[in-house]
């Protein structure tokens, strides 16, 4: 009952905040312009919050660790490396950068191929040891950032401005041009993960218990890590890399509704992320007058929250 009430409250709150964000200032003479600007931004926020929440929950489940996020695998750093290499080699006028849809498809394809290599080849050689995979992801992330930083230092300053726009998460300047293709990808993914939600409940018991209960553990890991790569590429392409949003939202969800059922965890975390993002962007635009960005607030609060979690785990 508590989960149902919370779900209804969050849905109503999401609707109210969306209305407060979209409707103010509309009139018969300007509604078309304002709606064409605000509605795509709201949809981008919803897709970003949903993809980050789902990918973080599934990643924490398959790694059986509540303080990890998918960014530990280095996908954010890989995204920036791809963008930098394209500009470094082909220039900012290349269609691979100028056309948002082509850039998104290329980036997503490379990230998925990389994830398939990591999970189909390396994971088998590591005997399905997730911790070693995370270590490789951390080292790879450092390597990607180093290469990216080197290229950005020797690149033409005018070209660097193009890359700089992609380096930091921004809800004020979202890439809404890829909304259509991002929405299609998410709709295509839903049927593949819908039947796995109950299996994730079993995966949360640990590898040995999941295997004993008949779950194809290796297949589930490979499948969902590829899906996580796709979802992360969507969220990163829309707003940029956000490190701590998933950690903050998912852990708050677990504290609010102390349950193992991923049906509830996924739903509440997605709704919470939508409420936080729309409400936060509303405050940034209407109260703070763009004096700061929502991503800065999220990373600051999320970083503090992660420290608190680590201190709490250490005491226990």
pLDDT of residue 171: 64
pLDDT digits (tens, 9 = 90+) for 226-265: 888 888 888 877 777 777 788 888 888 888 888 888 888 8
pLDDT of residue 125: 63
Q: Which CATH architecture has domain 2-315?
A: Orthogonal Bundle (1.10)
Distance from chain centroid for Cα 10: 20
What is the pLDDT tens value at each position of the chain, 316 positions in all? 577 888 889 899 989 988 888 888 777 777 788 788 888 888 888 888 889 889 888 888 887 777 777 777 777 788 888 888 888 887 777 787 777 778 788 888 887 787 777 666 666 665 656 667 777 777 878 888 888 888 888 887 777 777 766 665 566 666 667 788 888 888 888 888 888 888 888 887 877 777 787 877 777 887 887 888 888 888 877 777 777 788 888 888 888 888 888 888 889 999 998 988 888 888 887 777 767 677 777 777 777 777 777 676 655 5
Residues counted in the chain:
316
How far does the chain reach from its first CA to its final CA, in angstroms? 30
pLDDT of residue 80: 82
Name the residue ranges covered by the structural domains of the chain.
2-315
pLDDT digits (tens, 9 = 90+) for 4-40: 888 889 899 989 988 888 888 777 777 788 788 888 8
3-state secondary structure 172-206: CCCCHHHHHHHHHHHHHHHHHHHCCHHHHHHHCCC
């Amino acid at each position: 009952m508590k989960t149902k009430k919370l779900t209804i409250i969050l849905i109503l709150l999401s609707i109210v905040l969306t209305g407060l964000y979209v409707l103010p200032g509309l009139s018969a003479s300007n509604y078309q312009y304002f709606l064409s600007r605000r509605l795509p931004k709201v949809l981008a926020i919803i897709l970003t919050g949903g993809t980050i929440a789902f990918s973080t929950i599934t990643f924490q489940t398959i790694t059986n660790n509540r303080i990890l996020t998918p960014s530990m695998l280095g996908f954010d750093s890989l995204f920036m490396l791809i963008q930098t290499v394209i500009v470094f080699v082909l220039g900012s006028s290349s269609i691979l950068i100028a056309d948002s849809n082509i850039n998104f498809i290329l980036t997503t394809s490379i990230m998925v191929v990389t994830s398939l290599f990591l999970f189909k080849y390396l994971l088998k050689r590591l005997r399905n040891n997730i911790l070693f995979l995370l270590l490789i992801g951390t080292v790879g992330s450092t390597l990607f950032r180093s290469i990216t930083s080197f290229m950005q230092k020797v690149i033409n300053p005018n070209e660097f401005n193009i890359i700089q726009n992609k380096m930091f998460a921004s809800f004020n300047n979202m890439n809404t041009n890829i909304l259509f293709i991002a929405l299609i990808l998410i709709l295509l993914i839903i049927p593949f993960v819908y039947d796995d939600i109950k299996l994730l409940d079993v995966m949360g018991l640990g590898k040995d218990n999941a295997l004993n209960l008949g779950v194809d553990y290796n297949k589930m890991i490979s499948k969902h890590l590829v899906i996580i790569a796709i979802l992360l590429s969507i969220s990163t392409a829309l707003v940029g890399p956000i490190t701590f949003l998933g950690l903050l939202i998912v852990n708050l969800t677990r504290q609010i509704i102390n349950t193992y059922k991923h049906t509830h965890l996924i739903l509440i975390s997605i709704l919470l992320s939508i409420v936080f993002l729309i409400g936060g962007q509303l405050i940034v635009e209407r109260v703070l007058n763009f004096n700061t960005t929502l991503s800065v607030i999220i990373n600051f609060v999320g970083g503090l929250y992660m420290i608190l979690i680590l201190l709490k785990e250490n005491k226990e």
